[in-house]
Chains A and B, each alone.
Chain A
């Protein structure tokens, strides 16, 4: 289908434009001015490329919408790439308030990792099940994603604050935790690298395993390190699994997901190890000098401001619109479904953040940690709750 091809090409184009924009934002590094009144040439090019990239991604979104007949926010691939798009939008908005080019150097690469991550999920257009056939799907999902996008900027600014401010001359609990945060990013990259490698190789290994009285099959696209419980490998000439997935891991394809997680950890850890070998210091320490010219105050301000802008949007989309939709679809606006509970957890977390912020002593570093944790909760809801917890039961 032509439209669909155009659509994927545009997504790819957007990705490359974000990449290019990152380099230009990086070039503002030599910009010694500490005030933020004027933006240099590199910064201007960077933001222009970002906006064009955003436009390209918008084209991707619209063409896919036309091709599929419904807004492409119905599965993991579609939602995650859309989330990436709303992060870019949030970045553009915040950029025009604060004109901090440097934010782009940190925010854009993370967005690219997220988009690439989403692209590893099945990309076919799936039809919408009856519960999803509602205008509230679009209203709810777009608002939630926008809210999360803005909260993402607060995480990016918080992370920059931590990289800038945490003392790297001695080893401390703080800079180890910061490394853990950075290392998590490597795990995502690990997932992307290993998944794309084996998908290029068209790797496939199929298992049969018992589910109750039936036999189910599971197709692995990565070599099996762990097999389903009591599973038998039916593909020949591929790697034999090393061990069985523990029984408490349940749900559809639990073993396959667990296998993928193991691979992501392995690859991510190796990548991280390589980087450490090359730069011979903590990644945080290596990044620190980049942020020499950015004022810590300003980072703190951006981080807090994004929470204050993002929190109402998230509440509206993630709780209120979600509840209205649930009322329309199921006749119950709140049902303690894990996904709903985690939206509540996110909301409570940011409420706590805002309240802490009004007391003394919670500005700066502590707030920055909170911003990072808040976004971790959002990602947890997106990834773990969708793929692991919600797998235990399904809608409708």
Chain B
């Protein structure tokens, strides 16, 4: 490496712009920080030698320089910003409303938003945030963060460690805040030092050359916050692995007990009760709002018992269940056990558990019961042999019956919300079936010639609760990253690195100051320091084109 020796004797690494010790601009390197035709020195990195600005030969140098450029960083951020906005023009696939004509993206976007929707769909913007190019963009930001931080942190750290109180005159008079005073007395100097200390500046005196410094640690703020961001990005990568993160969705009926999926058969859950409550419309406080907006739900709650299976080592053996938690899971109040959380997430009200029917003669006005049967909708059989000799065959079952556009009966979902059946009823000792169509509010005799009729006598309803199970070991990493990020930004934003240099010249002195932010604050400091002395207030030499 071609080290550069400054006239003050300090040996600087190649690419240095301002001598690390005395700050004298090093000839031939001024273009690096854009000092060549400016009055003021660029103090952002104290004129240190940064790899990105120094080496530019190999391909690695070029990549390094590319990613360490703030300009590139800003472009990446702006691109991510624009991309993120695009994803909100139309709803993402996951937000296509339940009641949409079709939830198939190939149909939905064009159907709802016309030509723009079609383009949106074809560009793949309907799942933008998991598209390869969006992820690459975020990854590039991550790479850029790492490289730019390394590129600057190390040299800046060294330079601030090596800085001397004694500074070269050109360094001083090319600072933004600067003044020259012809004569000062020793008493005045003592007073100045005293006040500097009282303002909690760290004062170094080197043969009358003074460096007063405070808040240097705030210079590390950006690097700290960038580390926080990197941890968050790493956590996001971890989260895509099944060891660190799993989630499952469970639909569970009232009264039902089932193994919790995703727990290797270790945990069972029983839904004791699902409760949905609404606000009282007579409540004085909310009366008006409820009148205008309609009923407002006040609570979704599932009362559950969670069991731990005592022994799962023998496959096929029925495990012994030991209740571990008895809990009412509510929105904002999940159940937590052994690293898992269960959130209240959805519900279906009033699904049919069972329907009971009676059979009677079609023309019997009293509908005397000849036979009866019950269909358990959680487990419908294909055939029912009845006590008094009737036989009923379920020919077709529509759990959630409706007529489609062509008038053909179909089942909208698999949930028994509106069950309907085509039943074959075989009278005692007969092999000829009578066909009926039965549903809520519907009882159709297909041929019009049936001797017997089945009618609904009773039904049982239940609610179904949707619970979201998660095991997420990455949360602590996200938390850590966020905490470090916050510490870093606060460190960098709420404190500033202020330096004041005083250098004797003849009978007087040169006074210069620099801060990385809050010039107003440092000017106030200086005003206080020189109060009641002849020292001239610094002038702001900032060039107006900046």
Q: Are B482 and A131 in contact (CB under 8 A)?
A: no
**List of A residues within 8 angstroms of B114 by Cβ:** 248
Q: Are A124 and B490 in contact (CB under 8 A)?
A: no
Answer yes or no: B4 CB below 8 A from chain A CBs: no
Answer yes or no: A330 CB below 8 A from chain B CBs: yes
Nearest CB on B from A76, distance (A): 13
- CB < 8 Å neighbour of A393 from B42, B95, B293, B299: B95
Answer yes or no: B374 CB below 8 A from chain A CBs: no
* Given A127-B298, A360-B34: A331 touches B489 (CB 8 Å cut-off): no
Q: Which of B440-463 contact A (CB under 8 A)?
A: none
Q: Are A348 and B81 in contact (CB under 8 A)?
A: yes
Q: Are B85 and A298 in contact (CB under 8 A)?
A: no
**List of B residues within 8 angstroms of A349 by Cβ:** 81
**List of B residues within 8 angstroms of A392 by Cβ:** 91, 95, 97
When each residue 282-302 of chain A gets 1 if its CB lies under 8 Å from chain B and 0 otherwise, what string results?
A: 000000000000000110010
Answer yes or no: B475 CB below 8 A from chain A CBs: yes
Answer yes or no: B87 CB below 8 A from chain A CBs: yes
Nearest CB on B from A202, distance (A): 15
Total B residues in contact with A, Cβ cutoff 8 Å: 68
**List of A residues within 8 angstroms of B493 by Cβ:** 308-309, 311-312
A330 CA to B462 CA, complexed, in Å: 24
Answer yes or no: A130 CB below 8 A from chain B CBs: yes
Q: Are B518 and A68 in contact (CB under 8 A)?
A: no
A341 CA to B285 CA, complexed, in Å: 34
Q: Which of A108-116, A172-180, A351-359 contacts B (4 or more CB under 8 A)?
A: A351-359
* Given A1-B284, A331-B343: A364 touches B74 (CB 8 Å cut-off): no
Q: Are B288 and A355 in contact (CB under 8 A)?
A: no
**List of A residues within 8 angstroms of B330 by Cβ:** 130
Answer yes or no: A257 CB below 8 A from chain B CBs: no
Nearest CB on B from A251, distance (A): 10
**List of B residues within 8 angstroms of A136 by Cβ:** 332
Q: Which of A331-365 contact B (CB under 8 A)?
A: 331, 333, 336-338, 341-342, 344-345, 348-349, 351-352, 355-356, 358-361, 363-364
**List of B residues within 8 angstroms of A355 by Cβ:** 70, 73-74, 77
A131 CA to B540 CA, complexed, in Å: 54
Q: Are A98 and B520 in contact (CB under 8 A)?
A: yes
Most buried by B among A130, A131, A349, A364: A130
**List of B residues within 8 angstroms of A48 by Cβ:** none
Q: Are A385 and B88 in contact (CB under 8 A)?
A: yes
A305 CA to B495 CA, complexed, in Å: 11
Answer yes or no: A327 CB below 8 A from chain B CBs: yes
Answer yes or no: A134 CB below 8 A from chain B CBs: yes
**Interface CB pairs A-B, < 8 A, 30:** A1-B285, A67-B285, A122-B292, A124-B292, A125-B288, A129-B296, A129-B297, A130-B297, A134-B332, A212-B99, A248-B113, A248-B116, A297-B540, A298-B520, A305-B517, A308-B494, A309-B494, A311-B493, A312-B489, A316-B486, A328-B332, A331-B345, A333-B475, A338-B88, A345-B85, A352-B77, A360-B546, A363-B546, A385-B88, A393-B95
* Given A355-B70, A355-B73: A320 touches B494 (CB 8 Å cut-off): no
A133 CA to B301 CA, complexed, in Å: 13
**List of A residues within 8 angstroms of B71 by Cβ:** 359
- CB < 8 Å neighbour of B92 from A336, A360, A385: A336
Answer yes or no: A126 CB below 8 A from chain B CBs: yes
Answer yes or no: A40 CB below 8 A from chain B CBs: no
A156 CA to B85 CA, complexed, in Å: 25
**List of A residues within 8 angstroms of B343 by Cβ:** 329-331
Nearest CB on B from A24, distance (A): 24
Q: Are A329 and B475 in contact (CB under 8 A)?
A: no
Nearest CB on A from B523, distance (A): 10
Answer yes or no: A168 CB below 8 A from chain B CBs: no
Task: Output the nearest chain B residue to A137 by Cβ-Cβ distance.
Answer: B332
Answer yes or no: B279 CB below 8 A from chain A CBs: yes
**List of A residues within 8 angstroms of B540 by Cβ:** 297
Q: Are B77 and A133 in contact (CB under 8 A)?
A: no
Answer yes or no: A273 CB below 8 A from chain B CBs: no
Q: Are A126 and B81 in contact (CB under 8 A)?
A: no
A122 CA to B71 CA, complexed, in Å: 46
Answer yes or no: A396 CB below 8 A from chain B CBs: yes
Q: Are A133 and B332 in contact (CB under 8 A)?
A: yes
A341 CA to B287 CA, complexed, in Å: 34
Nearest CB on A from B61, distance (A): 22
- CB < 8 Å neighbour of A336 from B74, B129, B279, B345: B129
Q: Are A336 and B87 in contact (CB under 8 A)?
A: yes
Q: Are A130 and B300 in contact (CB under 8 A)?
A: yes
A134 CA to B494 CA, complexed, in Å: 30
Q: Are A131 and B88 in contact (CB under 8 A)?
A: no
Binding site for A on B (CB under 8 A): 34, 42, 44, 70-71, 73-74, 77-78, 80-81, 84-85, 87-88, 91-92, 94-95, 97, 99, 112-114, 116, 129, 247, 279, 283-286, 288-290, 292-293, 296-300, 330-332, 334, 341, 343, 345, 468, 470, 475, 478, 482, 485-486, 489-490, 493-494, 517-520, 540, 542, 545-546
Q: Which of A348-395 contact B (CB under 8 A)?
A: 348-349, 351-352, 355-356, 358-361, 363-364, 385, 389, 392-393
When each residue 161-203 of chain A gets 1 if its CB lies under 8 Å from chain B and 0 otherwise, what string results?
A: 0000000000000000000000000000000000000000000
Most buried by A among B34, B286, B475, B494: B286
- CB < 8 Å neighbour of A320 from B299, B482, B542: B482
- CB < 8 Å neighbour of B345 from A68, A330, A359: A330
- CB < 8 Å neighbour of A315 from B73, B99, B478, B485: B485
Q: Are B288 and A124 in contact (CB under 8 A)?
A: yes
Answer yes or no: A250 CB below 8 A from chain B CBs: yes
Nearest CB on A from B545, distance (A): 8
Q: Are B97 and A126 in contact (CB under 8 A)?
A: no
Answer yes or no: A210 CB below 8 A from chain B CBs: no
A-B complex: 6 closest residue pairs judged by Cβ atoms: A331-B343, A130-B331, A126-B289, A124-B288, A124-B289, A134-B332
Q: Are A125 and B289 in contact (CB under 8 A)?
A: yes
Q: Are B81 and A393 in contact (CB under 8 A)?
A: no
A40 CA to B11 CA, complexed, in Å: 55
**List of B residues within 8 angstroms of A248 by Cβ:** 112-114, 116
Nearest CB on B from A309, distance (A): 7
Task: Output the nearest chain A residue to B42 by Cβ-Cβ distance.
Answer: A360
Q: Which of A89-135 contact B (CB under 8 A)?
A: 97-98, 122, 124-131, 133-134
Q: Are A127 and B470 in contact (CB under 8 A)?
A: no
A11 CA to B279 CA, complexed, in Å: 27
A331 CA to B546 CA, complexed, in Å: 48
**List of B residues within 8 angstroms of A389 by Cβ:** 88
Q: Are A331 and B468 in contact (CB under 8 A)?
A: yes
A361 CA to B34 CA, complexed, in Å: 12
Q: Are B490 and A341 in contact (CB under 8 A)?
A: no
A349 CA to B80 CA, complexed, in Å: 10
Q: Are A301 and B88 in contact (CB under 8 A)?
A: no
A349 CA to B81 CA, complexed, in Å: 7
Q: Are A301 and B91 in contact (CB under 8 A)?
A: no
Task: Output the nearest chain A residue to B540 by Cβ-Cβ distance.
Answer: A297
Q: Are A345 and B112 in contact (CB under 8 A)?
A: no
**List of A residues within 8 angstroms of B542 by Cβ:** 297
Task: Output the nearest chain B residue to A250 by Cβ-Cβ distance.
Answer: B112
**List of B residues within 8 angstroms of A319 by Cβ:** 482
Given A319-B482, A330-B345, 8 extra CB contacts under 8 A: A126-B289, A130-B297, A301-B518, A305-B518, A336-B94, A348-B77, A348-B80, A359-B71
Q: Are A352 and B74 in contact (CB under 8 A)?
A: yes
**List of A residues within 8 angstroms of B519 by Cβ:** 301
Nearest CB on B from A167, distance (A): 14
Nearest CB on B from A119, distance (A): 16
Nearest CB on A from B41, distance (A): 12
